[in-house]
Amino acid sequence: MTPLCPVESIEDPGSAGFVIETTDGRKRAIMVVQANGHLRGYVNHCPHRGHPLDFTPGRFLDMTRTFVLCASHGALFSVETGRCLAGPCLGDGLDPVALVVAGGMIMVETT
């Protein structure tokens, strides 16, 4: 497990970005997003062109702070499921990252 941050450091709605190291030493950019009490983790990799989703580091939500937004071409994703609901990758989805909350900390299982 890799600790990321305290739960209270992610606003609801809000988001944050992290770079974690996998067990084979590679770096992986991930995001933690929260909206309507749903706290989720996803790989920071858009299924459309493979770009990182955040133009401003750590800001993954759209202006309404309801959906995950890809800043490159405007795809919108469900916070709860990661599925693309609008945009050029409609029907595709973000790769989930399993989060664990323990002792007030958000942690990710390192793969």
Contacts of 49 (CB under 8 A, 6+ apart): 72, 73
Applying CB under 6 A, does 73 fall inside the site for ligand FES?
yes
- Of residues 87, 94, 106, 108, which one binds ligand FES by CB under 6 A? 87
Minimum distance of ligand FES from residue 66's CB (angstroms): 17
**Per-residue x/- track, 7-36, ligand FES (CB under 6 A):** ------------------------------
- Of residues 46, 97, 106, 108, which one binds ligand FES by CB under 6 A? 46
- Residues near ligand FES (CB under 6 A) are 46, 48-49, 51, 70, 72-73, 75, 87-89
